Amino acid sequence: MNFLEKRIIKDGKVLSEHVLKVDSFLNHQIDPNLMLEIGKEFADRFANDGVTKIVTIESSGIAPAVMAGLFLKVPVVFARKKKSLTLNGDLLTASVHSFTKNETNEISISKKYVNKEDRVLIIDDFLANGQAALGLVDIVQQSGAKVKGIGIVIEKSFQQGTQILTKQGLRIESIARIASLENGEVTFINEKVE
Ligand code: 5GP
Protein backbone atom coordinates (compact mmCIF):
# COMPACT_ATOMS: atom_id res chain seq x y z
CA MET A 1 0.00 0.00 0.00
CA ASN A 2 1.28 3.49 -0.79
CA PHE A 3 1.08 6.50 1.54
CA LEU A 4 -2.39 7.54 0.35
CA GLU A 5 -3.85 4.04 0.44
CA LYS A 6 -2.65 3.69 4.03
CA ARG A 7 -4.31 6.99 4.92
CA ILE A 8 -7.58 5.92 3.28
CA ILE A 9 -7.60 2.73 5.34
CA LYS A 10 -6.85 4.70 8.50
CA ASP A 11 -9.27 7.64 8.07
CA GLY A 12 -11.65 6.92 5.18
CA LYS A 13 -15.26 5.94 5.83
CA VAL A 14 -17.16 3.72 3.42
CA LEU A 15 -20.60 5.31 3.13
CA SER A 16 -21.98 2.84 0.59
CA GLU A 17 -20.76 0.49 -2.12
CA HIS A 18 -20.20 3.58 -4.26
CA VAL A 19 -19.15 6.39 -1.97
CA LEU A 20 -16.05 6.89 0.15
CA LYS A 21 -15.89 9.73 2.66
CA VAL A 22 -12.52 11.35 3.19
CA ASP A 23 -13.61 14.51 4.96
CA SER A 24 -10.84 14.38 7.52
CA PHE A 25 -7.98 14.93 5.07
CA LEU A 26 -9.26 15.92 1.60
CA ASN A 27 -12.87 17.01 1.22
CA HIS A 28 -13.43 19.21 4.27
CA GLN A 29 -10.50 19.28 6.66
CA ILE A 30 -7.31 19.22 4.58
CA ASP A 31 -3.98 17.69 5.60
CA PRO A 32 -1.33 19.97 4.04
CA ASN A 33 1.48 17.43 4.45
CA LEU A 34 -0.52 14.78 2.66
CA MET A 35 -1.38 17.29 -0.10
CA LEU A 36 2.33 18.05 -0.44
CA GLU A 37 3.13 14.36 -0.91
CA ILE A 38 0.29 14.01 -3.43
CA GLY A 39 1.52 17.07 -5.32
CA LYS A 40 5.04 15.67 -5.46
CA GLU A 41 3.75 12.33 -6.74
CA PHE A 42 1.82 14.01 -9.58
CA ALA A 43 4.83 16.18 -10.39
CA ASP A 44 7.08 13.08 -10.57
CA ARG A 45 4.66 11.23 -12.84
CA PHE A 46 4.28 14.18 -15.25
CA ALA A 47 7.83 15.50 -14.94
CA ASN A 48 8.69 14.87 -18.61
CA ASP A 49 5.48 16.03 -20.24
CA GLY A 50 6.23 19.71 -20.66
CA VAL A 51 3.22 20.72 -18.58
CA THR A 52 2.67 24.50 -18.63
CA LYS A 53 -0.56 24.68 -16.65
CA ILE A 54 -2.70 22.70 -14.24
CA VAL A 55 -6.48 22.84 -14.50
CA THR A 56 -8.75 21.59 -11.72
CA ILE A 57 -12.29 22.17 -10.42
CA GLU A 58 -13.43 23.80 -7.19
CA SER A 59 -13.31 23.01 -4.41
CA SER A 60 -11.62 19.74 -3.53
CA GLY A 61 -9.33 19.61 -6.55
CA ILE A 62 -7.63 22.86 -5.57
CA ALA A 63 -5.42 21.66 -2.71
CA PRO A 64 -3.74 18.75 -4.54
CA ALA A 65 -3.53 20.80 -7.75
CA VAL A 66 -1.77 23.71 -6.05
CA MET A 67 0.80 21.37 -4.54
CA ALA A 68 1.44 19.75 -7.92
CA GLY A 69 1.79 23.24 -9.39
CA LEU A 70 4.34 24.10 -6.74
CA PHE A 71 6.56 21.18 -7.74
CA LEU A 72 6.02 21.53 -11.50
CA LYS A 73 6.47 25.31 -11.19
CA VAL A 74 3.35 26.09 -13.22
CA PRO A 75 0.17 28.10 -12.47
CA VAL A 76 -3.05 26.41 -11.40
CA VAL A 77 -6.47 27.39 -12.75
CA PHE A 78 -9.66 26.10 -11.17
CA ALA A 79 -12.96 25.86 -12.99
CA ARG A 80 -15.80 27.53 -11.14
CA LYS A 81 -19.10 25.78 -10.58
CA LYS A 82 -21.06 29.02 -10.25
CA LYS A 83 -20.70 32.19 -12.24
CA SER A 84 -19.23 34.91 -10.05
CA LEU A 85 -19.28 38.68 -10.41
CA THR A 86 -15.53 38.73 -10.84
CA LEU A 87 -15.52 35.93 -13.41
CA ASN A 88 -16.60 37.87 -16.44
CA GLY A 89 -15.57 38.40 -20.00
CA ASP A 90 -14.90 35.52 -22.31
CA LEU A 91 -15.58 32.17 -20.69
CA LEU A 92 -15.08 28.58 -21.72
CA THR A 93 -17.90 26.45 -20.32
CA ALA A 94 -19.03 22.83 -20.08
CA SER A 95 -21.92 21.05 -18.43
CA VAL A 96 -21.04 18.60 -15.65
CA HIS A 97 -23.32 16.25 -13.75
CA SER A 98 -22.15 15.78 -10.17
CA PHE A 99 -21.99 12.20 -8.92
CA THR A 100 -22.27 13.01 -5.22
CA LYS A 101 -24.70 15.94 -5.38
CA ASN A 102 -26.87 14.64 -8.23
CA GLU A 103 -27.05 18.05 -9.86
CA THR A 104 -25.78 19.51 -13.10
CA ASN A 105 -23.48 22.51 -13.03
CA GLU A 106 -22.20 24.71 -15.77
CA ILE A 107 -18.48 24.93 -15.07
CA SER A 108 -16.36 27.72 -16.45
CA ILE A 109 -12.86 29.06 -16.88
CA SER A 110 -11.82 32.44 -18.20
CA LYS A 111 -10.27 32.28 -21.69
CA LYS A 112 -7.55 34.53 -20.30
CA TYR A 113 -5.90 31.73 -18.35
CA VAL A 114 -5.76 28.79 -20.77
CA ASN A 115 -4.71 29.18 -24.38
CA LYS A 116 -3.59 27.14 -27.36
CA GLU A 117 0.07 27.23 -26.35
CA ASP A 118 -0.66 25.39 -23.10
CA ARG A 119 0.04 21.76 -22.30
CA VAL A 120 -2.37 21.00 -19.51
CA LEU A 121 -2.41 18.55 -16.63
CA ILE A 122 -5.95 18.11 -15.29
CA ILE A 123 -6.22 17.22 -11.60
CA ASP A 124 -9.24 16.19 -9.52
CA ASP A 125 -9.88 14.63 -6.12
CA PHE A 126 -12.03 11.67 -7.21
CA LEU A 127 -12.75 9.83 -10.42
CA ALA A 128 -16.16 8.12 -10.42
CA ASN A 129 -18.12 8.26 -13.68
CA GLY A 130 -15.70 10.66 -15.30
CA GLN A 131 -18.11 13.56 -15.81
CA ALA A 132 -16.03 16.19 -14.01
CA ALA A 133 -12.87 15.12 -15.85
CA LEU A 134 -14.69 15.07 -19.21
CA GLY A 135 -16.00 18.60 -18.58
CA LEU A 136 -12.48 19.81 -17.84
CA VAL A 137 -11.09 18.05 -20.93
CA ASP A 138 -13.84 19.71 -22.99
CA ILE A 139 -12.97 23.17 -21.67
CA VAL A 140 -9.24 22.70 -22.20
CA GLN A 141 -9.81 21.45 -25.74
CA GLN A 142 -12.10 24.41 -26.51
CA SER A 143 -9.16 26.67 -25.66
CA GLY A 144 -7.00 24.88 -28.23
CA ALA A 145 -4.61 23.69 -25.51
CA LYS A 146 -3.38 20.10 -25.35
CA VAL A 147 -4.37 17.75 -22.51
CA LYS A 148 -1.23 15.91 -21.39
CA GLY A 149 -3.00 13.78 -18.83
CA ILE A 150 -5.31 13.53 -15.87
CA GLY A 151 -4.07 13.21 -12.31
CA ILE A 152 -6.58 11.72 -9.90
CA VAL A 153 -6.14 11.50 -6.15
CA ILE A 154 -8.61 8.65 -5.60
CA GLU A 155 -9.89 6.58 -8.53
CA LYS A 156 -12.87 4.30 -7.99
CA SER A 157 -11.90 1.89 -10.72
CA PHE A 158 -15.14 -0.07 -10.46
CA GLN A 159 -17.10 2.88 -11.86
CA GLN A 160 -17.13 3.93 -15.50
CA GLY A 161 -14.82 6.97 -15.50
CA THR A 162 -11.51 5.21 -16.02
CA GLN A 163 -12.80 3.29 -19.04
CA ILE A 164 -14.52 6.30 -20.61
CA LEU A 165 -11.42 8.50 -20.36
CA THR A 166 -8.95 5.80 -21.41
CA LYS A 167 -11.08 5.07 -24.50
CA GLN A 168 -10.63 8.70 -25.51
CA GLY A 169 -6.89 8.15 -25.47
CA LEU A 170 -6.40 10.15 -22.28
CA ARG A 171 -3.65 9.20 -19.86
CA ILE A 172 -4.85 8.80 -16.28
CA GLU A 173 -2.52 8.71 -13.30
CA SER A 174 -4.28 7.90 -10.05
CA ILE A 175 -2.51 7.74 -6.73
CA ALA A 176 -4.99 5.38 -5.05
CA ARG A 177 -7.03 2.96 -7.14
CA ILE A 178 -10.03 1.39 -5.44
CA ALA A 179 -11.26 -1.93 -6.79
CA SER A 180 -14.24 -2.22 -4.47
CA LEU A 181 -16.08 -0.69 -1.51
CA GLU A 182 -18.13 -3.82 -0.90
CA ASN A 183 -18.97 -5.02 2.63
CA GLY A 184 -17.91 -1.69 4.10
CA GLU A 185 -14.29 -2.37 3.17
CA VAL A 186 -11.86 -0.60 0.86
CA THR A 187 -10.01 -2.95 -1.51
CA PHE A 188 -7.31 -1.47 -3.72
CA ILE A 189 -6.50 -2.65 -7.26
CA ASN A 190 -2.97 -3.67 -6.30
CA GLU A 191 -4.19 -5.81 -3.44
CA LYS A 192 -6.57 -7.64 -5.78
CA VAL A 193 -3.81 -8.48 -8.23
CA GLU A 194 -1.42 -9.77 -5.57
P1 5GP B 1 -17.35 11.91 -11.66
O2 5GP B 1 -17.56 13.20 -12.36
O3 5GP B 1 -16.09 11.21 -12.04
O4 5GP B 1 -18.56 11.02 -11.72
O5 5GP B 1 -17.22 12.26 -10.13
C6 5GP B 1 -16.15 13.02 -9.69
C7 5GP B 1 -16.56 14.05 -8.68
O8 5GP B 1 -17.56 13.57 -7.79
C9 5GP B 1 -15.35 14.39 -7.84
O10 5GP B 1 -14.93 15.69 -8.18
C11 5GP B 1 -15.82 14.32 -6.41
O12 5GP B 1 -16.05 15.62 -5.94
C13 5GP B 1 -17.13 13.60 -6.43
N14 5GP B 1 -17.04 12.18 -5.98
C15 5GP B 1 -17.25 11.09 -6.75
N16 5GP B 1 -17.19 9.97 -6.02
C17 5GP B 1 -16.90 10.35 -4.76
C18 5GP B 1 -16.71 9.61 -3.54
O19 5GP B 1 -16.79 8.38 -3.44
N20 5GP B 1 -16.44 10.36 -2.44
C21 5GP B 1 -16.33 11.71 -2.47
N22 5GP B 1 -16.03 12.32 -1.32
N23 5GP B 1 -16.52 12.44 -3.60
C24 5GP B 1 -16.80 11.76 -4.74
pLDDT in tens, 162-178: 999 999 999 999 999 99
* Distance (Å) from CA 126 to ligand 1 centroid: 5
- 127 in ligand 1 pocket by Cβ < 6 Å? yes
**DSSP annotation of 145:** P
- Is the Cβ–Cβ distance between 34 and 55 less than 8 Å? no
E strands present in the chain = 13-14, 20-21, 53-57, 76-79, 91-97, 104-110, 119-127, 146-156, 172-180, 187-188
pLDDT above 70: residue 192: no
Global confidence as pTM: 0.96
Judge whether residue 193 has pLDDT over 90: no
For the question of an ipTM over 0.95, the answer is: yes
* 180 Cβ below 6 A of ligand 1: no
